Amino acid sequence: MTLISPWRALWPTPPMPDTLTFEAVAPFAARTWTMHAATSLLVLALAVAVARWTRVGLGGVGVAPAWTRDPEHRAHARRQWWAVFAWVLGSYCAATGILAISGAPLYPGQGEADPAAMGVVLLPISVSTAWIEEVITVALVMLLLRAARQPAAVAFLLVALAKIPYHLPQMGLPAVAVVVAALVCAWTYHRTGRITPVIAAHAAHNLLMVGVILASSGAVAAAH
């Protein structure tokens, strides 16, 4: 709370947009996008610091490992990238399906803000959300535990535990459904050491969700 309070005092949270107008969307979007831009840079700095401390470099964190740039391994690297992408995307879609069945809100402001307006706000941060979450809760957690010589099972458990609080404020108790995606992310990262397809799959899932939000808002508007 002490870390968040100064930011809230400096830039209080505007009301969520209730209509798709510039006046309603701009204040909330500006604050949200600024926070994501700043957090993304902080996560990058953290990743660089951990990479240096563990002496693995960004390739060791999972950003284009050296072997993937070897001409002899490029075909395998591409197949592996898409395999990880498919596994992670499928796991996030499965988790979203469980959340939808439970009745949990699937995006910030669901039921409070205008869906189309929130879709506009969420669209640019679909990628930054994936970058922030996967680097912190998967790559850095597992890298630090590997450096501490902890077994993979411990790393998998902590990745799952790290992802639940990340979603708990928005979704409540049904956020435990993200354990499905958490375990798949941890497993694929453990097996391949690659974080970029994990981030890309999460971002693709987010973009699909924004598309659904915008499409549903259009259907509701047409019905009225």
Tens digits of residue pLDDT in 176-224: 889 999 999 999 999 999 999 999 999 999 999 999 888 877 544 444 4
Distance between CA atoms of 14 and 134, rounded to whole angstroms? 28
Residue 146, burial from CB neighbour count under 10 angstroms (0-12, 13-18, 19+) = middle
To 10 degrees, the CA torsion angle through 126, 140, 51, 206? -10
Say what percent of the chain tops pLDDT 70.
91
Cβ-Cβ contacts under 8 Å for 121 (sequence gap 6 or more): 17, 25, 28, 29, 32, 33
Mean pLDDT, the chain, rounded, equals 86
| Residue range 6-11: mean pLDDT, rounded | 53
Question: What is the predicted pLDDT for the residue at 106?
Answer: 80
Tens digits of residue pLDDT in 143-162: 999 988 999 999 999 999 98
Is 193 in contact with 60 (CB distance < 8 Å)?
Answer: yes
Between the alpha carbon of residue 111 and those of residues 17, 98, 134, 140, 171, the distances in Å are: 12, 19, 27, 34, 13
Task: Kindly report which listed range (62-71, 79-88, 179-188) carries the lowest average pLDDT score.
Answer: 62-71
| Residue range 98-110: mean pLDDT, rounded | 84
First vs last Cα of the chain: how many Å apart? Answer: 42
Place of tokens 């600024």: 34
